[in-house]
Amino acid sequence: MLSPDEIAILTLSFKVAFCCLLINIVPAVLVGYWLARKEFWGKSLVETLIFLPLVLPPVVPGYILLVLFGNQGIIGKHLSALGLEFAFNWKGAVLASAVMGFPLMVQSVRLAMQMVDKRLEMTARTLGASDVAVFFGITLPLAWGGILVGAILSFCRSLGEFGATITFVGNVAGETRTLPLAIYSLLQQADSDHAIMRLLVLSVAVAFCALWFSQWYTRHQSAKLQG
């Protein structure tokens, strides 16, 4: 059985991950479509900047977020004056997770968009469909499987985010202490093996189920298209 503190940690973790997903999904779909369908000067540089968080040590994006969105940061000090603060509260944890999960979703969306046959889009345009109608009527439905998989990966990445979160918003109980931060805190305490094991099992179970579903759904969609 989970203790009330563990339930609160799990609830906060899912809250942060869902908010992160809601923030990322529309920009990720638009950016993924843009990268899949448009060629322009400097595209490699843009792609490098978008995917950079995937290869940087997580502490680096966390520190950059602190400099930008901290209470005395370049942007954060102006937001604080408006009553919107990110540092050391759950909204900052959402921002950190969104930054780290965004590249994963963009990559999945871009690959899904690239798999859509351009001839279908061209045919629709020759029949008088606008670019918006083609996007919502053809491209988006055909790429939906890849978008869903990207959303699942981004969600899982948010649940497991540690380095950027602890650097940007700290490890505040009841406010920013998500699942990985709670495990880290318990590792510093004596006689906490059972609590650590419960949280580890929860983490593995959630990640396993999400990834299993994404793999099953991908195979299901491939078999459906081939059939």
pLDDT digits (tens, 9 = 90+) for 156-169: 888 888 989 999 99
Q: Is the pLDDT of residue 40 over 70?
A: yes
Q: Please state, in angstroms and rounded to a whole number, the distance separating the CA atoms of residues 69 and 51.
A: 21
> Which pLDDT score, from 0 to 100, does residue 46 have?
92
Q: Please state, in angstroms and rounded to a whole number, the distance separating the CA atoms of residues 220 and 23.
A: 28
> Could you tell me which of 224, 87, 69 has the C-alpha nearest to residue 145?
224
What is the average pLDDT value for the chain, to the nearest integer?
87
> Which pLDDT score, from 0 to 100, does residue 227 have?
60
Mean of pLDDT values over 129-139? 89
Give the torsion through C-alpha atoms of 144, 148, 154, 157, to 10 deg: -150
**Cβ 106 vs Cβ 178: under 8 Å:** no
> Could you tell me which of 101, 170, 90 has the C-alpha nearest to residue 184?
170
Mean of pLDDT values over 39-59? 90
> Which pLDDT score, from 0 to 100, does residue 189 have?
82
